[in-house]
A and B are shown apart, each in its own frame.
Chain A
Amino acid sequence: MALPAQLRPIQHHLRTAQEHEARDPVVAYYCRLYAMQSGMKLDSKTPECRKFLIKLMDQLESMKKEMSDHDSITQEVVGNAHIENYALKMFIYADNEDRGGRFHKNMIKSFYTSSLLLDVLCVFGELSEENIQHRKYARWKATYIHNCLKSGETPQ
C-alpha cells in the first residue's frame, strides 16, 4: 500500500523493516512498532493514513503471533538490548571504515541505518545521552560523506 505523504517521516524505518524481514525479523518487528507509534502521532485522522496504520497494525499482530517464542519480542528488556546491539554494531562498522578512509555506499548506509535504529530505541523509553550523540553523529556522517562522494570530493 502506498505510504500517505503525511507519514513520510516513517518511510525509511519501514524500508529498514522490509530489508530485515528475513535477515533479522526482530529488527523488522521493532522498526514497524516504532513506525506505528510515530504514525499515530503524525496523522491517524485522515482516512488514507488510518487505512495504512490499520494495515500496519495487522502486520504487527501477525508478526507477534509468528514470533511468540522469541524472548526479544515477549520481553521488552531483551528487545531493547537486541536493537541497541544491532544499531551499535552497524555504527562501529561504519566508523571503522570512516577512520580507515574507506568511503563507499555500504558504510554510508550503515551509518544511516544505525541512526534509524537508534530512533527505534525510543520505543523502549528515553534515549541515553550517549545514544542521542551517536544518532546525531551517524546521521551527520551519512549525509556528509554522501554529499562528498556525490560532488567528487574526498571526505575529511
Chain B
Amino acid sequence: TGSVGTSVASAEQDELSNRLAKLRDQM
C-alpha cells in the first residue's frame, strides 16, 4: 500500500500543478 499511496499522492500533485499552470496560462 505504501508505494500505491505514494504514486497516488504524486499523481494528484502533478495534476494540481497542471491545473494551476492552465489557470494561469489563460490569464
B16: which of A47, A57, A74 is its contact (CB, 8 Å)?
A57
B19: chain A residues within 8 A (beta carbon): 57, 61
A4 to chain B, nearest CB (A): 14
Q: Cβ of A53: which chain B residues have Cβ within 8 Å of it?
A: 16
Number of interface residues of A (CB under 8 A): 19
Residue pairs across A and B with Cβ atoms less than 8 A apart, 11 shown, are: A33-B23, A33-B24, A37-B20, A40-B16, A40-B20, A47-B9, A50-B9, A57-B19, A57-B23, A75-B27, A79-B27
Which A residues contact B (CB, under 8 angstroms)? 33, 36-37, 40, 44-45, 47, 50, 53-54, 57, 60-61, 64, 73-76, 79
